[in-house]
Structure 1
Amino acid sequence: MAYRHHDRIRFHHTDAAGVAYFATVLALCHVAYEEALAQFGIPLSLHFSAQGDEILPITSAQIDFRRPLYCGDPYWVDVQPQLTSPEGFTLHYQ
């Protein structure tokens, strides 16, 4: 079950050169992750607050940049979960 998140690079996503800062791209992926959880009916408050019983830590992240993203550029993030064990999963983003 994949999810696609659409948006546009905003001014506050960019650095002084007008390019989306690398750490911002990770944040945009996390926004897509949160939107995917909501889309699949998983309450965010259960995973991102003291109210929840489950914690979903991010233990690794990697991005391969192919070209710069500039203010106003449209983008999409595809989120594809993959079960890796009874206790773990991997999220693939494209």
Structure 2
Amino acid sequence: MIFAYQRPIHFADTDSAGVVYFARLLSICHEAYENYLTKKGINLREFFNNNHTAIPIIHAEIDFFYPVFCGDIVIINSKITKINDKVFQIDYLIKKEEENIGKGMTKHICINPQTRKTKPFPAHFSEQFFH
């Protein structure tokens, strides 16, 4: 399933050369992830402040094909793939109009925040998130 998120590039997203700063584009991909969680009915406050389950990012990458400037409208197409009962990956295709301008990826793992040990995704999360 592909989920689209659209957003303008703000001045604060750019570096001294006037192009989007690499870490900001990865942050915008995370905004797309948060927007997906919200659309799936997941309460962000509860999700990010849960004493029983945490789903941190264990790997992230971003590749640029073309520069992005202040005022550009970007569309982040996110594809979520469940790797196993503890890990999922989100692949991001970043577009400006119809042109692919970059791609990114984040890999997430489910853990118990108290023990920091991996654990399977809770059933209620899997039902909301992966369907």
Q: TM-score, normalised by structure 1?
A: 0.92
Residue in structure 2 matched with residue 27 of structure 1 by the alignment: 27
Higher RCO, 1 or 2 (CA under 8 Å, sep at least 6)?
Answer: 1
The CA distance in 2 between the partners of 1:28 and 1:46, in whole Å, is 21
> What secondary structure, in the 3-state scheme, does the structure 2 residue paired with 1:90 have?
strand
Structure 1 runs of 4+ off > 2 angstroms? none
Q: What are the Cα deviations for residues 71-90 of structure 1, in whole angstroms up to 9, with x where unaligned?
A: 00110101111110011111
How far has the Cα of 1:62 moved from its partner? 1.0
Q: SS where residue 62 of structure 2 aligns?
A: coil
User: What code does the residue aligned with 2:74 have?
Assistant: Y
- Written as runs of structure 1 = structure 2, the 5 A alignment for 1:1-94 is 1-49=1-49, 51-94=50-93
What is the CA deviation profile of residues 35-80 of structure 1, one whole-angstrom value per residue up to 9, with x for unaligned ones?
000011111122212x453201100011111011000011010111
CA distance in 2, matches of 1:64, 1:88: 22
Q: Secondary structure at the match of 1:27?
A: helix
* Equivalent position amino acid for 2:87 in 1: G
State the one-letter code of the partner of 2:55: L
Cα distance in 2, alignment partners of residues 4 and 89 from structure 1: 18
Between Structure 1 and Structure 2, which shows a larger proportion of strand residues?
A: 2
| Coordinate RMSD, CA, aligned | 1.1
Determine which structure has more spread, i.e. the larger CA radius of gyration: 2
Q: Which runs of 5+ in 2 are unaligned?
A: 94-131
TM-score, length of structure 2 as denominator length: 0.67
Q: Distance in 1 between matches of 2:51 and 2:77?
A: 26
Question: Unmatched 5+ residue regions in structure 1?
Answer: none
> Percent identity between the aligned chains?
37
Match of 2:113 in 1: none
Structure 2 CA distance for aligned equivalents of residues 33 and 62 of structure 1:
15
